[in-house]
Structure 1
């Protein structure tokens, strides 16, 4: 799924402008090393008192490929994920492309409009209605996925979205995976759900558990994983080329690939 060339050119111009501006403001000369600049930006945030439980670590992940264009993802402290938004002829260029878009978003994230405020919460909840085809009544019901999302935002007023992304992605995945509905059916309260997951890292154990849920669905509806995986891969590619935040679609893809790999492994052993 290709992106409009004009839109991609505008995006590249905007990213380059922000990167060059960052270089000037940090007294950089010549071509800025965006990989180093991105790491230094988040180290500066930590030094200024930003509370991030995993520290200032910036993590890169190259997508396996035997030939160009190469793709790289970068996950920031706080959990936000961005990817290379250009057609990259080398793995090093893909890494720089991912660092560029991540640095741009990190700089923009400092703007007051990115702070979680009442106005921000209203917009984010409205976006959730659209994404999950929910209703406004759900937002006022704490036992629903959208209601829990709204409560979670309200509990994190004053933080920025990049700092809050991992927690938000956990609850997006729980909603997508059907886990929130299952907990609601077991009469778990909003407070119990939030208490259980608010301090949980999005780790391999959580991904494995969600993959098992999809394996169970596959046993009921053959082909559902491949179908859902194709959707998530298209979403991820479209969002990456548009320079958008990627953690949710990337985690969906990874969980579904994990489930498919496990099924194929079991079939080989059978």
Structure 2
């Protein structure tokens, strides 16, 4: 009996080990179960105190043999799948994956509830006289990035004057503004400088105070409608200007998509130009 037990022990523990392979049903249920990034993204935002349920918007288009999806978050940020997909649902899943990563690790703007850091924006915005000295490095870099965002119709703009106007607008924002409100304000400043609106407002003798007041209450949708009409009139005066600018903006959109970065600004510019071209044609 003892000899039989030793034989079995040697067989099971001292001999060659064998691996138990999972069945096909187990593989399908456990090991190869696809991740639902759309559901994870929804859970991430609905778990916040403000409950952003239903505020995540998906848009899917079919371009050049594949689907591209854009997902807009409650903060206003927009992300897209970096590579076109043959399936519309897959493209949305990949876009949601990019958005989820940015939502989790993208910084304080995705986690603020009541704009507690807005005082930093006000403090930085008060240093207008030091706008190119590097004193407020993060604040200045954001505005300088906007200033470099020029269109073919805004090449001769006064960059220093635009910087001063944008600094005042941000510094005069409400102290309790949320991260989403500040993002939309930056988006409006991006579009206005790109469109040449600051130069036009200066010719109409608008003050910085008037610009800040009007921008605070102006929805992004209404601003883009105004710009669509402006670009349609530019096309009538200078045929081909929309196609020239659209090619530049599409390159920016493709690069931001490939780099898995926020594409909201480039996307809005492309939509403005396409809508203006439709009005002309």
| 1:33 alignment counterpart | 36
* 8 Å CA contact 2:69, 2:91 repeated in 1: yes
How far is the alpha carbon of 1:217 from its aligned partner?
0.9
* 8 Å CA contact 1:129, 1:136 repeated in 2: no
How many angstroms apart in 1 are the aligned matches of 2:169 and 2:44? 27
| 1:146 alignment counterpart | 163
How many angstroms apart in 2 are the aligned matches of 1:249 and 1:158? 28
* 8 Å CA contact 2:149, 2:194 repeated in 1: no
What CA deviation, in whole Å up to 9, does each residue of 1:121-169 have, x standing for no partner? 133134334445899982xxxxx33223223433367877666322211
SS in 2 for 1:47: coil
| 2:83 alignment counterpart | 86
Query: Does 1:194 pair with 2:212?
Result: yes
Question: Given the superposition, is the C-alpha separation of residues 101 and 113 from structure 1 closer, same or farther in structure 2, using an over 3 Å criterion?
Answer: closer
Question: Given the superposition, is the C-alpha separation of residues 134 and 185 from structure 1 closer, same or farther in structure 2, using an over 3 Å criterion?
Answer: closer
- Number of aligned residues: 223
Which residue of the other structure, out of 174, 177, 196, is the alignment partner of 2:195? 177
Please, which runs of 5 or more residues in structure 1 have no aligned partner?
1-29, 139-143, 265-270
| 1:125 alignment counterpart | 143
How many angstroms apart in 2 are the aligned matches of 1:66 and 1:83? 16
| 1:18 alignment counterpart | none
How far is the alpha carbon of 1:39 from its aligned partner?
1.8
Q: What is the TM-score with the length of structure 2 in the denominator? A: 0.69
Which residue of the other structure, out of 253, 263, 271, is the alignment partner of 1:254? 271
How many angstroms apart in 2 are the aligned matches of 1:161 and 1:63? 29
Q: What is the TM-score with the length of structure 1 in the denominator? A: 0.71
Output aligned runs, 1:89-238, within 5 Å: 89-111=86-108, 117=120, 118=124, 119=136, 120-132=138-150, 138=160, 144-154=161-171, 155=173, 164-203=182-221, 205-238=222-255
* 8 Å CA contact 1:106, 1:162 repeated in 2: no
Which residue of the other structure, out of 11, 35, 60, is the alignment partner of 1:62? 60
* 8 Å CA contact 1:129, 1:135 repeated in 2: no
* 8 Å CA contact 1:42, 1:56 repeated in 2: no
Rg (Cα) greater in structure: 2
How far is the alpha carbon of 1:111 from its aligned partner?
4.6
How far is the alpha carbon of 1:87 from its aligned partner?
3.3
Question: Given the superposition, is the C-alpha separation of residues 44 and 113 from structure 1 closer, same or farther in structure 2, using an over 3 Å criterion?
Answer: closer
SS in 2 for 1:71: strand
CA RMSD of aligned residues (A): 3.1
